[in-house]
Structure 1
Amino acid sequence: MANSYVQLHFAALFFLASLTIPSNCLPGLYPKAPVALFVFGDSLFDPGNNDFIKTTTTFQANFPPYGETFFKLPTGRFTDGRIIPDFIAEFAKLSLIPPYLQTGYHEFLTNGVNFASAGAGALAETNTGLVIDLKMQFKNFRKAKKHLRLNIGKRAARRVVKNAVYLFGIGSNDYLSPLTNNSSIFKLYAPQDYVAMVVGNITSVVQVIFRFSFFFQPFF
């Protein structure tokens, strides 16, 4: 029974992610459309944000063999080469999307930014204090939009946000963390309620971004 709920969750994740990719913003197919890539997620998408978390080294990939087959040195990615957003950026003819905690605000004007954090979940309780959970990633996105507006103006910033691609890949740690940390949280919720809570957190962030991006509601 639990497996079916997990399968449902991952299906929902795929569906939600697909909703956030407008068909008119892939320059390989539509060269005239301006595009930026904003990434939210966990270790599958983290390009090195966790290397800048000073309170822990638990979820950091700043040592060999990470990065050795492509970058020739560790970059904070939990792979020996590139991560999924790197390949998507390459397909879209963008440069590599930088981690939010490393980049300067001027880089938001061109390619976008990556907010993902290895070990993060949709729930704030997942690896709390060690990672940047989804809602905090969203708060960082709002800060990025503020600086974007200050740098290029309100109208231009709205255009960038509207035409951007929003990539999500998060949720698996919400199921893994309670098992590895001997948490009792699974005893507090029925499986379907726990999955609903995880999916609900993801959905709420997606919905707010959708309103900001396509209906031009206020940034803050």
Structure 2
Amino acid sequence: MARLVFRSEFLNRCVILLLFVSVKASSGSSLEKTSAFFIFGDSTVDTGNNNYIKTTPENQANFKPYGQNGFFGGPTGRFSDGRVIVDFIASYANLPLIPPFLEPSSDYINGVNFASGGAGVLPETHQGLVIDLPTQLKYFEKVKKTLTENRGEAEAKVLISEAVYFISIGSNDYMGGYLDNPKMQQDYQPEDYLSMVIGNLTEAIQVLYQKGGRKFGFLGLSPLGCLPALRALNLNKESEGGCFEAASALAEAHNNALKGILTTLEYIFKDFKYSNANFYNWLEDRMNNPGNYGFKEGVNACCGYGPYRGMFTCGGNKNMSEYYLCDSPDDHVWWDSFHPTERIHEQLAKALWDGPSSSIGPFNLRDLFITTTIADAVDSPQPRSYHSQF
């Protein structure tokens, strides 16, 4: 009798797995069936959460000319002329658009987006004006509880285990949280502040693993000092202008530290799989050599005013006469003073989806969406024994 019960339980689990995470490759870059998609981060991946919170115009994008390319019919809260990277990834994974968590009546079966424009890893970054990463993790716990109540513990456990967790955050901690915060600079040396950011990000990854997550995608930081806003700031400080190297140095150090942490976590945690993008070099090459990638302009933003059109996030004053809007955003790497155009988001999404190991690794996102981890959902493995400190 014991053997029959075991086989019945095993078959039930297999049925659940097939229903919710079975995948089958099809022609092109999409899949017929795929895993859920949970998104954490800042304005690079915010699809509208900041529409529902009280914040500053710089942290919102629910007004024109955002969304002006017509894909959504108008502004949605995305910091882009149209779609952002996670919209494309969802499409490649044969998922619908992943809704923002704060959008009423969201359905969590395909995942949900917790990202918030202006958010940081640290709760102190733009405190009170954004949904910081610790709060995003709390929201995920609510989603997990709802899935368990609605789908049952077994189904929810498999869905959580098979989901892909995409994390894109950290820029605001260094730009607004540190370089634009004299008190933080007084209290922390750059390397100590960076260690604090990386430490808190590591803890967040561990929390998601402990709650059942096994497959993670990461978007590293761009050359922050070369954003139009930071170039404009540097022009005010140094007559020759150019990239604000202190910001780019912090971004590069963050990326190197994250790479080391992920290698360690892969060793510590059983079945921990991840995709990490070399976003820094990827975007830097497009800024320096725009013509190689189909762009005409790699430095100046499409929308904004002042040097590099980097003095203000476009449209924030809701006065069309006070900012410039280019004729063809597709010719530009940068949409506004901080954010790239939809075309950059699309190119990056394609690279993340099935790019080579030289720029995406150790897995690309397609690998993660088609990889199943039934053992994790059934057995809830414990971390491997490891005694070194991060």
- Tell me by how many angstroms 1:183 deviates: 3.5
Q: Distance in 2 between matches of 1:32 and 1:80?
A: 29
Change (3 A) 1:208 1:184: same
Which residue in the other structure is 2:100 paired with? Answer: 99
Which residue in the other structure is 2:168 paired with? Answer: 169
Deviation per residue, 1:96-136 (Å, 9 max, x gap): 0000000425x112x10000000000000100000000000
Which residue in the other structure is 1:66 paired with? Answer: 66
Unaligned runs of 5+ in 1: 1-24
Corresponding residue SS for 1:184? helix
Which residue in the other structure is 1:20 paired with? Answer: none
Superposition CA RMSD, Å: 2.2
Deviation per residue, 1:187-220 (Å, 9 max, x gap): 2112111111101111101111112215649xxx
- Over 6 Å off, 4+ runs: none
Change (3 A) 1:91 1:201: same
Which residue in the other structure is 1:47 paired with? Answer: 47
Corresponding residue SS for 1:64? coil
- Tell me by how many angstroms 1:55 deviates: 5.2
Change (3 A) 1:124 1:26: farther
Q: Is the 8 A contact 1:178 1:184 kept in 2?
A: no
Q: Is the 8 A contact 2:33 2:94 kept in 1?
A: no
Corresponding residue SS for 2:35? coil
Alignment partner of 1:120 is 2:119: yes
Q: Distance in 2 between matches of 1:143 and 1:183?
A: 36
Q: Distance in 1 between matches of 2:24 and 2:126?
A: 38
Q: Distance in 1 between matches of 2:73 and 2:33?
A: 34
The structure with the largest alpha-carbon Rg is 2
Q: Distance in 1 between matches of 2:145 and 2:177?
A: 35
Name the aligned partner's letter for residue 116 of structure 2: S
Q: Distance in 1 between matches of 2:129 and 2:115?
A: 13
Deviation per residue, 1:68-112 (Å, 9 max, x gap): 21212000000011011101001001010000000425x112x10
Which residue in the other structure is 2:128 paired with? Answer: 129
Q: Distance in 2 between matches of 1:34 and 1:179?
A: 39
Scaled by the length of structure 2, the TM-score of the pair is 0.46
Q: Is the 8 A contact 2:45 2:85 kept in 1?
A: yes
Q: Distance in 2 between matches of 1:46 and 1:140?
A: 15
Corresponding residue SS for 1:71? coil
Q: 1:1-220 residue pairs with structure 2 within 5 A?
A: 27=23, 29=25, 34-54=34-54, 56-69=56-69, 70-105=71-106, 107-109=107-109, 111-178=110-177, 181-213=180-212, 214=214, 216=380
- Tell me by how many angstroms 1:26 deviates: 9.2
Q: Distance in 1 between matches of 2:73 and 2:159?
A: 33
Scaled by the length of structure 1, the TM-score of the pair is 0.80
Corresponding residue SS for 2:112? strand
Q: Distance in 1 between matches of 2:22 and 2:186?
A: 44
- Tell me by how many angstroms 1:179 deviates: 5.7
- Tell me by how many angstroms 1:28 deviates: 6.1
Q: Distance in 2 between matches of 1:33 and 1:92?
A: 8
The number of residues matched between the two structures is 191
Q: Distance in 2 between matches of 1:52 and 1:77?
A: 13
Unaligned runs of 5+ in 2: 1-20, 215-375, 382-390
Corresponding residue SS for 1:39? strand
Q: Distance in 1 between matches of 2:77 and 2:179?
A: 22
Q: Give the structure, 1 or 2, with the largest relative contact order (CA under 8 Å, sep 6 or more).
A: 1
- Tell me by how many angstroms 1:29 deviates: 4.1
Identity %: 49
Higher deviation after alignment, 111-120 or 57-66 = 57-66
Q: Is the 8 A contact 2:55 2:130 kept in 1?
A: no
Q: Is the 8 A contact 1:178 1:186 kept in 2?
A: no
